[in-house]
Amino acid sequence: MATKCGLHSGLTFDTFVIGNANRVARSSAMLVAEFPGERCNPLFIYGGVGLGKTHLMHAVGRKILEDNPNTNLLCISANRFINEVVSLSAGGRYSDEKIQKFDNKYRNLDALLIDDVQFLCKRGGTQQRLFNIFEALLPKNKQIILTCDTYARQLSDFDERLISRFGAGLSVSIEPAEFELRAAILLQKAKQQGVKLPLEVAYLIATRLNTNIRELEGALNSVIMRAEVFKKPITEELAKEALQGITGTGRISIENIQQSTAEHFNIKIADMHSKRRVANVAYARQIAMYLAKELTQKSLIEIGYAFGGRDHATVLYAVKKITKERAQSQELNHTLHLIEQDLKNWN
């Protein structure tokens, strides 16, 4: 039943590893799964590539179907939705019969899940169709869940009415996984493959790659394959050989982070190095230090040196402070997401 609805096997709440980066999103998704259509409608999940948005959306769908197998649910990618809309005018002429069938299909759903809605940009006709579906489903308390690579208000070439609908329920972000979460994900992925992954190897991979879950899994597979090919146990040494040349930091540098953070907070780049303790400057500096620890492989001492010669204790304090705050503040999560999105332009 779940497969017919477009849901992938294995993408459940049980296989979703929880950490500070996704805890709020996971809790929100569980709430929606337990009370579909009643609260948080629509649910808008946003974040970078490969962070678990799709997994979480499918987990909600599977939970809804488990609780009520008769639910008329559809999980579909934005690209497939676009193709369905385009097919309505095959040959350059709209078919009343096709339109009626399309409308009946979508307007009679109990739950609609759409992945990667950012691909609907510049698709005016498709956006109009989706808007009409929103207008048909939401008043009936039918659940809608959307995933996107950015916050709804950051979408370009979108109908303002549709963006308004996206944000009318609950918007939650999934942030890049912190070190502990990356390691936990690797251990679970290995377990799913029947492989015993030493903890020190999980830590090594988690340190080497800090981008997204897909790349973590790719690195893990490289390690496992090397062990199988050479018939050797998985050790730190073997992992280092398998991961030669692989890094998750791209060309992101501390200087990139300082500049993007300074621009976001509208302060001078020199403030990152200065001794100024004005509240907004100090806060921006702490965020930049936190991002430097998360997105580069620099030590606390190296990071402190790049921020005007500060000692490692100052950097550690900033990292702990921002880590704690982001677990409690949706606004801070959104700020970090925007800066991280901007940093992608450096790659």
Shared domain for 151 and 108, answered yes or no, is yes
Rounded CA separation 271/63 (Å): 49
Name the domain boundary from 151, 174, 197.
174
Shared domain for 165 and 57, answered yes or no, is yes
pLDDT of residue 252: 75
Residue 14 is assigned to a structural domain of this protein? no
Name the domain boundary from 221, 242, 263.
242
Rounded CA separation 261/254 (Å): 10
CATH number at residue 46: 3.40.50.300
Shared domain for 54 and 105, answered yes or no, is yes
Q: Could you read off the pLDDT of 93-149 as tens digits, one per residue? A: 777 888 999 999 999 999 999 999 999 998 999 999 999 999 999 999 999 999 998
Residue 22 CB: number of other CB atoms within 10 A? 27
Residue 269 is assigned to a structural domain of this protein? yes
Q: Could you read off the pLDDT of 176-230 as tens digits, one per residue? A: 788 888 899 999 999 999 999 999 999 888 877 776 788 899 999 999 999 999 9
Dihedral class, residue 116 (left if φ above 0, else alpha if ψ from -120 to 50, else beta): left
Q: Could you read off the pLDDT of 311-326 as tens digits, one per residue? A: 999 999 999 999 989 8
Range of the domain at 47: 23-174
- Name the percent of the chain lying above pLDDT 90: 57
Phi then psi dihedrals of residue 114, to 5 deg: -120, 125
Residue 15 is assigned to a structural domain of this protein? no
Shared domain for 29 and 111, answered yes or no, is yes
pLDDT of 56 > 70? The answer is yes
Rounded CA separation 67/286 (Å): 45
- Name the percent of the chain lying above pLDDT 70: 94
Q: What is the per-residue DSSP string for 214-226?
A: HHHHHHHHHHHHH
For residue 330, what pLDDT band results from cuts at 50, 70 and 90? confident
**Predicted TM-score of the model (pTM):** 0.71
Shared domain for 50 and 162, answered yes or no, is yes
Shared domain for 49 and 146, answered yes or no, is yes
Query: Do you find a cis peptide bond into 69, omega within 30 degrees of 0?
Result: no
Answer whether 180's CB lies under 8 Å from 54's CB.
no
The angle subtended at Cα 217 by Cα 213 and Cα 223, nearest 5°, is: 145
Shared domain for 216 and 146, answered yes or no, is no
Q: Could you read off the pLDDT of 241-293 as tens digits, one per residue? A: 998 866 554 557 888 899 899 999 999 888 898 888 889 999 999 999 999 98
CATH number at residue 206: 1.10.8.60
Tokens of 272: 């990152």
Shared domain for 29 and 169, answered yes or no, is yes
